[in-house]
């Protein structure tokens, strides 16, 4: 068994790879141990996912949408309760408290005199750090292809060997070459909810698909809380995707044709 990224023998690897980071709410889209070796799995966790998840943009998303990390923690957010008065807000998914707000003692007279008291928090931003997001997309694109080939050892071997995929593989794993462009745009409101046939109301955390354009290109499309990210697997070029959007009235490939 060879690793999808470094192509080394991954027979003894133990770690289960998450296509979308677990700390963004993904517990189901995973690859069995060995598809990605332990060294590559650890590299992505430390060098790509961690800095992305700890960027101000992703901390705001994880906080506002209460997405717990795998340790069931929601990252705290630093806001203000008044001019020059910081407030440290921690939300919880477990236990008796929904949130705690910590302020310095000089904020107390202000909080007592001001009615109503308001905590100002950084808002959501739809523009993720481009290079980290594109390296995550490069990784997730290849892993999504691998996921479709589970149980097909010949297909998996040719995926690992395919030289056409080496540029994006090496960009994702080693950061090789120029930054790979990705598209980022909002396709539905971050708070949008869906009612299931059971009557349960849920948010859609992430969804993904491939787009094959008439130019023979392959794009990977991933939406996380309604922010659609898109990457071309074969080339550092988004023109085919832009042309597809033009032709399709700026619909999302996730909700178009066979995908709708």
Q: Which residues bind Zn ion (CB under 5 A)?
A: 3, 5-6, 37, 40
In this structure, the strands spanning 183-186 and 193-195 are unpaired
Using alpha carbons only, what angle is made at residue 23 by residues 18 and 25, rounded to the nearest 5 degrees? 80
Please, what is the minimum distance in Å from the beta carbon of residue 46 to Zn ion?
14
Q: Using CA of residue 190, residue 236, residue 131, residue 25, what is the dihedral sign?
A: positive
Please, what is the minimum distance in Å from the beta carbon of residue 10 to Zn ion?
6
For Zn ion, the closer of residues 8 and 148 by Cβ is: 8
For Zn ion, the closer of residues 6 and 168 by Cβ is: 6
Please, what is the minimum distance in Å from the beta carbon of residue 43 to Zn ion?
8
The rounded distance, in Å, linking the Cα atoms of 105 and 116 is: 18
CB burial readout 82-96, b (16+ within 10 A) else e: beebebebebeeeee
Instruction: Report the interhelical angle of 130-148 vs 166-174 (nearest 10°).
Output: 130
For Zn ion, the closer of residues 37 and 52 by Cβ is: 37
For Zn ion, the closer of residues 49 and 217 by Cβ is: 49
The rounded distance, in Å, linking the Cα atoms of 135 and 3 is: 17
Please, what is the minimum distance in Å from the beta carbon of residue 71 to Zn ion?
25
CB 140 within 8 A of CB 208: yes
Please, what is the minimum distance in Å from the beta carbon of residue 5 to Zn ion?
5
For Zn ion, the closer of residues 6 and 77 by Cβ is: 6
């Amino acid at each position: 068994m060879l690793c999808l990224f470094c192509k080394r023998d991954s027979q003894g690897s133990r770690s289960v790879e998450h296509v979308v980071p677990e700390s963004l709410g993904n517990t189901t889209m995973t690859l069995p141990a060995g598809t990605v070796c332990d060294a590559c799995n650890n590299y992505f966790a430390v060098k790509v996912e961690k800095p992305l998840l700890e960027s101000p943009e992703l901390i705001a998303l994880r906080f506002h949408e209460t997405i717990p990390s795998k340790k069931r923690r929601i990252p705290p957010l630093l806001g203000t309760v008044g001019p020059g008065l910081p407030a440290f807000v921690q939300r919880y998914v477990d236990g008796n408290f929904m949130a705690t707000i910590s302020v310095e003692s000089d904020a107390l007279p202000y909080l007592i005199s001001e009615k109503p008291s308001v905590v100002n928090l950084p808002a959501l931003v739809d523009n993720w750090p481009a290079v980290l997001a594109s390296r995550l997309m490069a990784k997730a694109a290849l892993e999504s292809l691998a996921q479709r080939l589970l149980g097909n050892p010949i297909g998996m071997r040719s995926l690992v060997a395919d030289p056409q995929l080496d540029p994006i593989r090496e960009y994702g794993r080693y950061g090789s070459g120029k930054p790979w462009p990705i598209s980022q745009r909002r396709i539905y409101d971050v708070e949008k909810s869906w009612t299931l046939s059971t009557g349960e109301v849920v948010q859609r955390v992430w969804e993904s698909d491939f787009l094959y354009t008439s130019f023979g290109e392959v794009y990977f499309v991933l939406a996380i809380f309604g922010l659609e990210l898109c990457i071309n697997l074969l080339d550092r070029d988004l023109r085919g995707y832009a042309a597809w959007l033009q032709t399709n009235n700026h619909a999302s490939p996730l909700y178009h044709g066979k995908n709708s």
